[in-house]
Structure 1
Amino acid sequence: MTVGPLAALRSRIPRINEALFTAAFFFLPGHVAPVYTLSAVMLVLSLLEGRFREKWALLRGDSLFWIFQAFFWLFPLALLWTEDMAEGRRMVGRYTFFLLSPLYLTIARRALLPRCIAAFLAGCLLAEGLAYYNWLQMHVFTDWPAGLRVAKDPEDTAPFVDHILYAPILAWAAYLAARASLAGPPLRRLGCALLTVLTAGNLLFSGGRAGQLVFLVLLAVLVFQRFARRPLLAGALSVVLVSALLTGAYAGNDYFRTRVDMAVNEITHYEESVNTSAGLRLTFLMNSARLFAEHPLLGVGTGDYTRDYAELHARYSPGWLTTDNPHNQYLFVLSTTGLFGGAVLFAVYFPPLLWRGRRDSVAPLRTALVAFICTSCLFEDYLWRSNTSLLFVLFAVLLLGVRSRDGQAPALR
């Protein structure tokens, strides 16, 4: 029996979408615009493929689907008590990748994990090569042609996104590379070890202090995972390794030392450090906590943070700069959607797959992903930022979705 061209195309769509899904990981350290295009193509192909009943059966049995949709629709719901609808719609758009997560959940599966990690690390390697060139051009070979650089901060060496986004992505890449260097064929281990060193070096001069702290946390997580049966040894090794890295970086890198000294001085002399980086962040945190305390149940609404914060800011910190976000994901969600939103955010970070303590070959990666996003979000609204939001959604559907569990996923092919 001859198979028609449409039927032949439909049979190939799962493979095509898997390739497109894998390709999306490559763009995580760069511009995310290509991922919107890839997602649109995946959506069209998925609609053409059909099998909606099977896909719905998969999604409705996946707790991550319900959690991510609850998180996204939380913000349109909070428009009901928002006065600034234009700002509210802009805020809702920031969480688009959570809305797209059902599409990714029907494509992602456990077998794709090595390919997706390889694509992500390849994208990071490209970005790091450009960043190293920029650093050399800025500090050593000043007669070289200017490289591809972000124009936001004169000290930024990242090629595509500023250090606020770039550094946490590097921290996650360094963890994955370091973990891969501990097992496998010798040549592969050596390559991953070199990539770990290269990534850590880029992180050192990236200027992203939050990313550097996240890297140290992930390094400690990796040590505990490697010596899981000897927790005292793991704790001692973590302290020694982190201390050695901090000491070495502080003594051997002027840029890192200057950034650390500046942060310490601004924090210890907070009230005199008006409108400095660390001083502003502390002000944002304290005022946002006050804003949440005044609206604890439902928050101020999706679009009213900027306006209500400015009013509270005028009472408590006149003379300081105001903001449109607290640079802390926890306080951002709590101040705009209240305790109700905070409960949903908790489920985003700790879905049922983690509650049940499922142990399999990717369980360490799940733990590390949660450590990564929970630590990162202490310093920035990283679920509100494009690259890091996309990174979390893509890795979450791959590691925490129903098809990542051995023998438990409904078959789609």
Structure 2
Amino acid sequence: MGDEIGEVIWNGAKQETFHADKNINPLMRNRYFEFVAQTQIYLVLAACFSIALSTAFMSLSMGLFVIFWVLSGNFKEKSQLIRIHPGALIAIALFFLYGIGMFYSSASWEMRLSWWFKYHKLLYIPMIISVLTLEKYRNLAFKAFLAGMLMVLAISYLKWLGVVPHKDIGQGYFVFKGRIAHNIFMAFTMYLTLHLAVKSSDVKRWIWIGVSFLAAMNILFLVNGRSGQIIMLVLLVWFFWETWRWKSIQCLTILTVAIGAIYFLSNDLPESRLMEIRQEIMRHDPSQAPTSSGLRLEFYKNAIKLIQQNPLFGGGTGSFENEYRVLAETQKTVSTYVPNPHNEFLLTGQELGAVGLLLLLAFFVVPWSLSYRLATTGKSDEYYGYALRGLVMSMVVGSLFNSLLLDAGEGKFYCVLAGVFLSAYQPTKKQQQ
């Protein structure tokens, strides 16, 4: 009798233990996936802030993000979000087209793989879209980028004032990034703060106007990156047109006069390199006195000749350096080592031909069209549309003078922020079905 009672108690204890384990395992598993899912979102926020910092911080943030994105699982739901998002699909298509371009490239396989890997940042767009589904995190990501750039703006002025030590290397008072990236990012920041000024009221409006003005002066006079200066002017015109249409002509006239007065009346501000482009082209002598603008013009002409050799499918991913060297030696051009033509459209045209160039244009056109179709549940969503159009315009204009998508800092700047803004897009019910 006692043995039977003991057996019942033992079996009951085993049964309780079994049920307890059954309940604990799913709980632990849920906590694990919740932690990983939350961490990947925080890494997106860190990446947005680190855009303003050195490229190493951005690479670390996005490298960890990719790892946690894989560990978080939930691939069925992620793939569904990606599959119905045109912005995500066009980025994936462009990445795989660069992959196809490896198989007929004239470069070594090491070079082909290296160049294809440079475009892995394109995959950040669909990955961020698949995880940044809540408005609060999207808003935090935007604020993280803005906080990083405001910090850079403050440090740049402190360098100019002599408060922060600065070593002059002829590029102005840039911070963390070189002059090209600094001014491109700052031009986009100026555009964002102008829209924040329009959106705000009372004291906040004047604060954002002041920040926009300081950013513009920083771009024009303190850091001599000409790509960012041109982007700033284009974004200014677009901002006024987008906000006030024909009424903006008067505002633009006043602004032009004000900037001109500051430039000519102040002796303390550095010279703007934007005014030197024409003189550099005229002075350019390939054999004796090459200039920056003259060399770029030389790169463009030779890149077009390379495109004419393989107009439809191009010379393959990573082939530009080799093919340019052969062309330069044939024509006795001074610059025999040119890794890229400093123009993203010419580079893609040389690597992937007309097919790749059309897809690259679609890569910019699709987000632009989607910017008018973002979710309109609140004022912030409308702001993401403005921000996305400014981002696309910054990238397109900058890509006329640099291979921005290829470059690590500028390419990640675009892909990360494009992923953040595009995550506000809501597909139609038909697309969801």
Q: Distance in 2 between matches of 1:70 and 1:13?
A: 28
Q: Distance in 1 between matches of 2:231 and 2:164?
A: 33
In terms of fraction of residues, the more helix-rich structure is 2
1:10 maps to which residue? 33
Query: Which of these residues, 130, 138, 157, is aligned with residue 106 of structure 1?
Result: 130
Distance 1:145 1:283, change over 3 A: same
2:152 maps to which residue? 127
Deviation per CA, 1:97-128: give whole Å up to 9, x if none: 11333321212246134322221121112222
In the alignment, is the contact (CA less than 8 A) between 1:82 and 1:301 conserved in 2? yes
Deviation per CA, 1:366-397: give whole Å up to 9, x if none: 32222111111111111111121111112212
What amino acid is the match of 2:150? Answer: L
Distance 1:226 1:258, change over 3 A: closer
Report 1:202-213 matches (<5 A): 202-203=218-219, 204-213=221-230
2:328 maps to which residue? 313
Q: Distance in 1 between matches of 2:76 and 2:326?
A: 50
3-state SS of 1:275 partner: coil
Q: Distance in 2 between matches of 1:286 and 1:275?
A: 15
**After TM superposition, where is structure 1 displaced by more than 6 Å over at least 4 residues in a row?**
406-411
In the alignment, is the contact (CA less than 8 A) between 2:101 and 2:317 conserved in 1? yes
Query: Which of these residues, 270, 274, 285, is aligned with residue 300 of structure 2?
Result: 285
1:191 maps to which residue? 207
Give yes or no for the alignment of 1:276 onto 2:291: yes
In the alignment, is the contact (CA less than 8 A) between 1:175 and 1:222 conserved in 2? yes
Report 1:13-412 matches (<5 A): 13-85=36-108, 86-109=110-133, 111=135, 112-137=137-162, 146-147=165-166, 153-203=169-219, 204-227=221-244, 231-242=245-256, 244-246=258-260, 248-249=262-263, 252=266, 257=271, 259-270=273-284, 274-316=289-331, 318-320=333-335, 322-351=337-366, 354=369, 358=373, 360=376, 361=382, 362-401=384-423, 403-405=424-426
Distance 1:377 1:409, change over 3 A: farther
3-state SS of 2:198 partner: coil
In the alignment, is the contact (CA less than 8 A) between 2:124 and 2:415 conserved in 1? no
Query: Considering only CA atoms, is the larger Rg found in Structure 1 or Structure 2?
Result: 2
In the alignment, is the contact (CA less than 8 A) between 1:283 and 1:317 conserved in 2? no
Instruction: Report how far residue 293 of structure 1 moved.
Output: 1.6
Alpha carbon RMSD of aligned pairs, Å?
2.9
Q: Distance in 2 between matches of 1:337 and 1:217?
A: 29
- Unaligned 5+ residue runs, structure 2? 1-22, 377-381
In the alignment, is the contact (CA less than 8 A) between 2:85 and 2:427 conserved in 1? no
2:19 maps to which residue? none
What amino acid is the match of 1:304? Answer: S
Deviation per CA, 1:20-55: give whole Å up to 9, x if none: 212211111212323333334334433443322111
Distance 1:339 1:121, change over 3 A: same
What amino acid is the match of 1:299? Answer: G
Distance 1:47 1:313, change over 3 A: closer
Deviation per CA, 1:294-348: give whole Å up to 9, x if none: 2211212222211211222334462356421111111011011111110110111
Q: Distance in 2 between matches of 1:37 and 1:190?
A: 36
In the alignment, is the contact (CA less than 8 A) between 2:283 and 2:291 conserved in 1? no
Distance 1:80 1:48, change over 3 A: closer
- Unaligned 5+ residue runs, structure 1? 138-143
Q: Distance in 1 between matches of 2:393 and 2:148?
A: 22
Aligned residues: percent identity? 22
Q: Distance in 2 between matches of 1:317 and 1:24?
A: 44
3-state SS of 1:126 partner: helix
